[in-house]
Amino acid sequence: MKATTGETMKTKVALVLVFLLFAIPTSALSYEREPSIEIVSVGYIDPQKGITTPINSNYIGKGDKILVVTIYNPALRERVEYSDINEFMFFNSREDMLFTAYNIEIELLGNENVKVKSGKITLPALPSMQTATLQFPVEIVGGEEVELKLIAKYEVIDELRDLSRFQLIPELKVPVEFTNTIIYNSTGTLTQITNTTRYRVDIPLEKYELGYLEREKELPLKIFVEERDVSPEVKVVSADKLIAGGKGDIVVEIKNVGKKVARNAYATVELPKQQQLQQQPTTAMTAVIPFAMTSLPSSTTATTAQPSYYIGDLAPKDVAIAKFRVTLDLPTGGVYPVKLKLVYTDEYGNIKESDTATFGIEVLSKPKIEVKSVQSSVYANSKGDVVVKLISNADMERASARIVVSSPLSALSSECYIGDVKAGEEFEAIFRLKASSEAKETMYPGDVFVKFKAGDDFVESDAIRIGIEVKPEVEFEALGVPEIRAGEEKILTFTIKNKGITEIKDATARIVIVSPFSSSDDSAFIGNLKPGEVANASFKISVDRDATPKLYALNLEVKYRAENGEWVVSKPVKAVIDVKPRPIDYMIFTIVAVVIIAGIAYYIKRRK
């Protein structure tokens, strides 16, 4: 319905009141139990032991841990004093803003006993009576009762500095659509008229600015460091030149910084999951581990599945050396963490394991090997060489290469020795391949792998994809249709044409004889033929007397030496022979006639 004049006036009066209300200047407010930061609880996570759920205890062992600190905001509404009506009208429905801590910055300060490995943690806001959980990676190196400091900086609302003033709008309702509905009855008489107006209402928005006060608190955080009975400390690490994908030895000097003797101890190591570490076969390890240690309870199943090195008794402050054989199944190099622990028996014969000590090993990336060129002399239905020229960005010792191909290619010589390779210098690998008769004139994929010596083992590169060109097989054509009569023996000559794109050498044509033909000479030497050239090939051929006169097609093959020096037998082509009917032998008729005449004459003579 259309707005009335009375409604419009009420709206204008309300706007004037609001404008006058917010025209009053603002000043600071005050309230009790303002926002603050307090510590609720302290716990820790021990990723080295696979513990990912926080343990709510501040009794923590040495080593790398994640300190879990839960903070909260204890602000509570007890009394709020507003300095003017402005603040009251603004905060009356927004009092939760007053009890929220803003722009929070938390920093954990370490000391000589606890090394903090993270920086400051920031939170945009923490509402009243709500908590936030913070995690700080730390390394606990010593001490018994250690007090840390948690520095909390944050802001609280101090005042309402500014608020946008509403502008008086003569008409808040703006008509945007008008509809007129007229209804008639069955006799055509007007019964109802409805006018509908749709309005858009413009409501001004607030724009405000708040003033903040900065607060800073120093919160004491106490932890108790548990001293382990046996605790390993890695003193020295030495290793071979380790390359991703290769093997090598790691020698670790281990010190027991605990307070008790580790009896019948052996060291275990754990590398990242992409790596595998193997020290000795199981049978060999059993030989060096005392009988009492060869059977462990289920609680240490995960540990015994890891490679181990037997040490023996390790007293407090004593040092032992363990040597491990490393297999690194990694695509790239880098510095990778290795976790070491001791499994031992205590003075009561119970099997225990120590906390984890972590150290790093540097792994070099495999050399980057690039393909410079690939030369192929492989023809369809033939053998040939593939020469691959490569270059490496690192030195390689005692290198060799192998190739992997799939049908229609096969490797006759899939490996070759290269020798020592210098970084940046080209080297080549030569392989001998065969292409089947099904091979087409195209490029076929192949994978080349380069193996080289790293330490006392060999490392193989990732697959290096190459394209292998297969050249077309030379095709021939047998021209001419020589004639021969049934029962006849004759030298038949065909013209052989080289339809290929390469020259052939020392070619010999052979015709495949089938019934009704026979031959005592089915081969003919035709020599060298360049592309498009022709040569005659003659064969001594006989045909049966009762052969049916017609065109016969025999298979003709050409054996030749290709450009790569390989002997090749071509696909058969058709050599057409026209067999004519056997000629009539008139001499036989003459002899028969003479015999008959002589017989008749003899008969007549006897009658006389």
pTM: 0.52
Residues 220 and 245 grouped into a single domain: no
Q: How confident is the model at residue 205 (pLDDT cuts 50, 70, 90)?
A: low
Q: How far apart are CA 139 and CA 153, in angstroms?
A: 24
Position 195 in a domain: no
Question: Does 455 fall in a domain?
Answer: yes
Q: Which residues pair with 61 in a beta bridge?
A: 226
Q: 252 exposed, middle or buried (CB, 10 Å; 0-12, 13-18, 19+)?
A: buried
Alpha carbon distance 291, 295 (integer Å): 8
Give residue-wise pLDDT tens across range 387-409: 999 999 999 999 999 999 999 99
The per-residue pLDDT for 306 is 66
Name the residue among 550, 557, 542 with its Cα closest to residue 577.
550
Higher pLDDT, 304 or 542: 542
Note the pLDDT of residue 573.
Answer: 93
Q: What is the DSSP string of 179-228?
A: EEEEEE-TTS-EEEEEEEEEEEE--PPP-EEEEEEEEEEEEEEEEEEEPP
pLDDT at 585: 63
Domain end (from 313, 345, 363): 363
- Do 560 and 567 touch, CB atoms closer than 8 A? yes
Structure token digits, residue 537: 């090939």
Q: What rounded mean pLDDT belongs to the chain?
A: 83
Q: Which domain holds residue 451?
A: 369-471
Q: Are 430 and 415 contained in the same domain? A: yes
User: Scanning the structure block, which residue is given the tokens 């513990």?
Assistant: 51
Q: Does 200 map to a domain?
A: no
pLDDT band at 486 (very low <50, low <70, confident <90, very high): very high
Q: Which of 161-175, 178-192, 350-364 has the lowest mean pLDDT?
A: 161-175
Give the C-alpha separation, 562 to 265, whole Å: 70
**pLDDT value at residue 86:** 75
Q: Using alpha carbons only, how large is the chain's radius of gyration in Å?
A: 50
Distance between CA atoms of residues 577 and 415, nearest Å: 49
pLDDT for 586: 63
Beta carbons within 8 Å of 606's beta carbon, 6+ residues apart: none
| Alpha-carbon span 435 to 566, nearest angstrom | 12
Kindly indicate the confidence band of residue 298, based on its pLDDT and cuts at 50, 70 and 90.
very low
Nearest to residue 64, comparing CAs of 133, 141, 119, 134? 141
* DSSP states along 64-101: EEEEEEEEE-----S-EE-SSHHHHHHHTT-GGGTT-E
Residue 416: which CATH number? Answer: 2.60.40.10
What the block records as the tokens of 342 is 């001791």
Joined together, the tokens standing for residue 256 give 């027991």
Distance CA 417, CA 410 (A): 19
Q: Count other C-beta atoms under 10 Å from residue 127's C-beta.
A: 13
Is 267 inside a domain boundary?
Answer: yes
Q: Using the predicted structure, report yes or no on whether residue 286 has a pLDDT greater than 60.
A: no
420 and 558 in a single domain? The answer is: no
Q: Where are the beta strands (DSSP E) in 240-381?
A: 247-256, 262-270, 276-277, 308-314, 319-327, 334-345, 351-353, 357-363, 369-376, 378-379
Q: Give the pLDDT of residue 454.
A: 83
Whether residue 274 sits in one domain with residue 411: no
- Reported as half-sphere exposure (CB side, CA atoms, 13 A), residue 410 has a value of 8
* Stretch 154-167: mean pLDDT: 75
496 & 462 share domain: no
CA distance linking residue 174 with residue 170, whole number of Å: 10
Out of 337, 363, 389, pick the residue that ends a domain. Answer: 363
Task: Let me know the angle formed at the C-alpha of 338 by 333 and 342, rounded to the nearest 5 degrees.
Answer: 160
Q: Is 125 found in the same domain as 20?
A: yes
pLDDT exceeds 70 at position 327: yes
pLDDT at 1 over 50: no
In a shared domain, residues 36 and 137: yes
Instruction: Looking at the structure, tell me whether residues 447 and 575 fall in a common domain.
Output: no
Instruction: Give CA angle at 577 (571, 580), nearest 5°.
Output: 165
How many Å apart are CA 327 and CA 249, to the nearest integer?
Answer: 9
Residue 135 pLDDT > 60:
yes
Distances (CA, A) of 407 to 156, 442, 466: 75, 13, 15
DSSP element (H, E) containing 504: strand 504-511
Q: Do residues 435 and 482 share a domain?
A: no
Assess if residue 607 is contained within a domain: no
Task: Please indicate, yes or no, if residue 602 is contained in any of the structural domains.
Answer: no
Segment among 73-87, 240-254, 381-395, 415-429 with least mean pLDDT = 73-87
In a domain, 504, yes or no: yes
| Same domain flag for 459 and 537 | no
The answer to the question of residue 173 being in a domain is no
**Predicted local confidence at residue 180, as pLDDT:** 73
Claim to verify: residue 132 and residue 218 sit in the same structural domain: yes
pLDDT at 569 over 50: yes
- What are the tens digits of pLDDT across the range 3-20? 444 444 444 444 444 444
Q: How many domains does the chain have?
A: 4
pLDDT at 311: 93
Both 268 and 327 in one domain: the answer is yes
What type of residue is 315? A
Count other C-beta atoms under 10 Å from residue 478's C-beta. Answer: 22
- Residue 608 — very low, low, confident or very high, per pLDDT cuts 50/70/90? low
Least confident of 97-101, 219-223, 544-548, 580-584: 580-584
Question: Measuring CA to CA, which residue among 484, 483, 509, 485 is closest to residue 495?
Answer: 509
Closest C-alpha among 172, 136, 162, 129 to residue 40: 129
Q: Which two tokens stand for residue 110?
A: 């370490």
Per-residue model confidence as pLDDT tens digits over 220-277: 999 998 777 888 989 999 887 888 888 888 999 999 988 899 999 999 988 876 544 4
Would you say residue 165 has pLDDT above 80? no
Q: Which two tokens stand for residue 466?
A: 């190459």
pLDDT digits (tens, 9 = 90+) for 488-547: 999 999 999 999 888 899 999 999 999 999 998 899 999 999 999 999 999 999 999 999
d(CA 423, CA 391): 7
Domain boundary, last residue among 456, 471, 486: 471
Question: 């394991």: which residue's tokens?
Answer: 353
**Strand-pair partners of 560:** 568
* The 3-state secondary structure of 363-387, one letter per residue: EECCCCEEEEEEEECEECCEEEEEE
